Structure 1
Amino acid sequence: MNGIIAELRGENFFDLDIDIFVNREQEAFSLGQHTHDFVEINIVGEGCGFHYIEDQVVQVKQGDVFLIPIGTSHVFRPSSPERDKVLVVYNCIFRNKAMENWSHHFSENSETIRMILYPQERKGRWLQFHDKHSTLHNMIHNMHCEYLKRNQGCEIILNTTLIQLLIMLQRMEMEKEYMPSPNDKLDDVMHYIKNHYSKNITAQNVADHFYMSISHFQRQFKKLTGHTFIQYLQNIRIQKCCELLESTDISIHEIANLVGYLDMKFFHALFRKKTGVTPRKYRQNFQEWKIE
């Protein structure tokens, strides 16, 4: 796993004389939310789980496709730490300078292409698609096989397939077969939750704040996020706990209080359910990884 994490952090990338890297990973809870200085196309190849992107938590399943521009924080995690809950993701990773010689193939008005070429203008944004007919899955699977074999002409095949992959994403975008980042109303709701998650907030509090009936709020929230309000709030709180465990020496009791949990028994049970380990073990694992 440490080798995989090193690769994801850019230490072993692009060992061929090209600007493309392709891998297939079974996701786990051990990798924290992170940013990269390269572009990613992620395709869920098997299973289901969650994709943490910036301050959003997106439910994912086989066939979901994401375009993650430079500087966007994210991480994939399976739906449960149980071994039978699998989330497999293909990652096609490339530097945006690879686009310099291909730009004439694409529309300048495409949001897909603008996210790649002008990440500073699209900071914190991303695109989500769904591969209905496994077209993109087959393409990235072939890229992965080609990358592993390293046969003669590998560079040409990887480059041309990536161009095809981007053209397909651009077509899906133009045909409205994509799901952009949440709409403005949901953005406001998420911003509110992000700023109040440490308080004793409820779905009723949020619904009242946005002048919505509780039934309408819960329906729309589940439809747009794939989670109930309490599931989403728990995910945000546990994600923040992980960040504090990694970046501070604050006691576990204090961290629980900071994110809104006063009942330590409930907190420990929830943390273990979400991550597969206790808070103490999570911090210990992270510290051991840093030393290695």
Structure 2
Amino acid sequence: MKKNVQLTKGELFFNSGLSIFINRVSERFDLREHAHDFVEICYVWEGSGFHYIDDKVLRVTKGDLFLIPIGISHVFRPSSSAADNQLIVGNCIFEQSILHAIVETMPNTIGSYRYAHIGLEQTQGWIKFREHTNEFGSLFDRMLQEYRQAKQGFQTMLFAMLLELLLVLERRLDNSSLYSSDETSVRDDRLDVILHYIRTQLHEPITLRDVSRHIKLGERQLQRLIRTSTGFTFTGLLHKERMERSCSLLKETTYTAAQIAQLVGIHDMKHFHRLFKKLTGMTPIGFRKAAASANLKRSYSS
């Protein structure tokens, strides 16, 4: 476990002798990165955002699921703090001893199988899954309902549902349909993280080194990833994002070109005008007039 990471203990959640806990929460920016002394299965129920896990940053959307063993540090964060952009995550947490119990108490069905990937000491790192037809969501719906209603025998029912979920994941791993904590599995997600960082920091003097430190990737590797994925250099991508934001502001606000240049992190107006005309073929004033004219034509035609 990394230093200065909060340890969350299962005793805060387990009660009445039940070592399984299910919830559904809206993730927030003020939550701290943490590790735990229990096993956790997290399911992205709604929305999108980012999962900071074990020194990686992954883009997550509805249908993603993570199996996280003891001691792995992580935290979910929404894409933005806007009220209409929530990231809803379901958590199924349980003691490691339950995995032992599943194997030990069912020798005729799975005891000889012993879980090729999940259970006991096999799960050394976190694993990411992606559902195909709401198979994870439907199971989490049932588990949460069972947990909240707490009807007679719900403990046994939760145990059986957890076994079902683990077997679904085990079968998926047998078919090799997984993302895991190795570096190659998260490469495609990194472009989303890069773009999110750049777009939220456009007003700042962003450098390649800044992004490299944020995404924890070497500067040469970062340049290569951007070039392969977008066809731009880092500088070219940054210019493109700044001019696209400028176009949006010219169409949607009454800010002057000088104000917009400041908002996108360019403090030299000659440089701003040169970049804008190079990428759009027009001056900022010409672009605003053209956009207003197009809107007027659409309003008449409607």
Give runs of aligned pairs for residues 1-292 of structure 1, distance below 5 A.
9-10=9-10, 12-103=12-103, 104=107, 105=110, 107-108=113-114, 110-113=116-119, 117-118=120-121, 122=124, 125-183=125-183, 200=209, 206=218, 208=220, 214=223, 216-218=224-226
Number of residue-to-residue matches in the alignment = 203
Q: Distance in 1 between matches of 2:18 and 2:185?
A: 42
CA contact (8 A) 2:45 2:88 kept: yes
Indicate how the Cα distance of structure 1 residues 10 and 96 shifts in structure 2: closer, same or farther if over 3 A, else same: closer
Aligned partners of 2:9 and 2:38 also within 8 Å? no
Q: 1:129: how far off?
A: 0.4
Structure 1 residues 19 and 186, CA gap change in structure 2 (3 angstroms): closer
Post-superposition Cα deviations, 1:133-192, rounded to whole Å, max 9, x if no partner, equal 1111111111111111111001110000000000000001111221122336979xx9xx
What do residues 84-134 of structure 1 show as CA deviations (whole Å, max 9, x unaligned)? 111111100000101222114264462233xxx228x82xx2100011111
Secondary structure at the counterpart of residue 59 of structure 1: strand
8 Å contact 2:42–2:65 — kept in the other structure? Answer: yes
Note the C-alpha offset of 1:206.
Answer: 3.7
List 4+ stretches of structure 1 deviating above 6 A. Answer: none
Inter-partner Cα distance in structure 2 for 1:53 and 1:221? 23
CA distance in 1, matches of 2:185, 2:131: 27
Higher-Rg structure is 2
Matching residue of 1:271: none
- DSSP 3-state at the match of 1:155: helix
Query: For structure 1, which runs of at least 5 residues remain unmatched after alignment?
Result: 1-5, 191-197, 223-228, 231-265, 267-292
CA RMSD across the alignment: 3.5
Q: What amino acid is aligned across from residue 226 of structure 2 in structure 1? A: Q
- Deviation of 1:200 after TM superposition, in Å, equals 3.5
Partners of 1:185 and 1:155 lie apart in 2 by 36
Structure having greater relative contact order (Cα 8 Å, sep ≥ 6): 1
Whole-angstrom distance in 2 between the partners of 1:126 and 1:201: 27
Q: Distance in 1 between matches of 2:182 and 2:34?
A: 21
d(CA) in 2 for partners of 1:59, 1:33: 16
Deviation at 1:219, TM superposition (A): 5.5
Partner of 1:257: none
TM-superposed deviation, 1:26: 0.9
Aligned mates of 2:211, 2:56 — CA distance in 1: 18
Contact 2:209 2:219 in 1 (8 A): no
Structure 2: which 5+ runs fail to align?
1-5, 191-206, 231-236, 239-264, 266-302
